[in-house]
Amino acid sequence: MNSEEVRRLLEGVKQGEISINEAEKLLVDIPYTDLGYARIDNHREMRVGYPEVIYCAGKTVEQVCGIVEHMLTRNNNILATRATEEMYQAVLSICKEAKYDKLSRTIRIIVKPVACPDSYIAVVTAGTSDLPVAEEAAITAETLGNKVQRYYDVGVAGIHRLFGSIEEIRGAKVIVVAAGMEGALASVVGGLVDKPVIAVPTSVGYGANFGGLSALLTMLNSCASGISVVNIDNGFGAGYLASMINKL
């Protein structure tokens, strides 16, 4: 429940369209609901603008389904990240509108429209191997109500590919750059645009990449200004932050 929905509820009580008892039932568990294995933060959308997102890794299929089932009763749009096909099939038995994206491992259920600004977010990758992380960022941003344009496989090994899309990338309000190996693409993009760049190091690379550590350190040490860095493979965090910037 967001602030606008609470306002409509209170207006309904004021006008006599909703009884006090009905309103009480809707408001009593606004802070959170305790499912035993999870405390669902029902207040989050009102507090920060977006409902709670389900991180599925480490959860059982039953736990994911229980959380989804409760969130549906609150009329929330639902995004679940790092979800398996098994989790999706179980969620699908609860809600036929659930959609699964295998590449990003996300489940989405859209039950109400989200206001979308005219500006867009650009999601850029160095290589095709970075797509799972980039798509997690893109789908997160889209679910939160943003237009997203994708520019994939434009890394520094063939930097001319980037220049073919650079004007469109410059037109974005915020840019997400996902790169593995040495992670140099974020610095290159940062030196070509006047928009904030969110760099996402990915775990793509051979042994000395250290599971994304080399890309992370490169991005943290970038000499280009206006670059912020999220955790290794954290496409969700990048998409969420990009959404916040795009809606300022």
pLDDT of res. 7: 75
Least confident of 21-30, 34-43, 57-66: 21-30
User: Tell me, what's the pLDDT at 2?
Assistant: 61
Domains of the chain: 31-109 (no CATH), 120-246 (3.40.50.1970)
Q: Is the separation of the CB atoms in 195 and 213 below 8 Å?
A: no
Q: How confident is the model at residue 175 (pLDDT cuts 50, 70, 90)?
A: very high
Overall average pLDDT of the 201-222 stretch: 95
Residues of the chain with pLDDT > 70, as a percent, come to 92
Q: Stretch 88-99: mean pLDDT, rounded?
A: 93
The pLDDT of residue 76 = 82
The pLDDT, as a whole number, for residue 1 is 58
Confidence (pLDDT) at 29: 62
pLDDT given for residue 115 in this prediction: 82
For the cut 90, the answer to whether the pLDDT of residue 173 exceeds it is yes
Q: For residue range 103-137, list pLDDT tens digits in order.
A: 999 999 998 888 889 999 999 999 999 999 999 99
Q: Global pTM?
A: 0.85
Strands (E), the chain: 33-34, 39-40, 54-55, 78-81, 99-101, 106-109, 120-125, 147-151, 174-179, 197-201, 227-229
| Tens-digit pLDDT profile for residues 183-200 | 999 999 999 999 999 999
- 30 band by pLDDT with thresholds 50, 70 and 90: low
Query: What is the predicted pLDDT for the residue at 200?
Result: 98
What element of type H or E holds 89?
A: helix 85-94
Give the pLDDT confidence of 148-162 residue by residue, as tens digits.
999 999 999 899 999
Give residue 49's region: left, alpha or beta (phi > 0; psi -120 to 50). left
43 has pLDDT over 70: no
Q: Provide the pLDDT for residue 133.
A: 97
**Average pLDDT for the chain:** 90
Separation CA 98–CA 91 (nearest Å): 7
Q: Assess whether pLDDT exceeds 80 at residue 49.
A: no
Residue 24: how many other CB atoms lie within 10 Å = 10
Predicted confidence band at 25 (pLDDT cuts at 50, 70, 90)?
A: low
The answer to whether residue 172 scores a pLDDT higher than 90 is yes
Q: How confident is the model at residue 38 (pLDDT cuts 50, 70, 90)?
A: confident
Integer Cα distance of 66 and 202 in angstroms: 31
Confidence of residue 224 (pLDDT cuts 50, 70, 90): very high
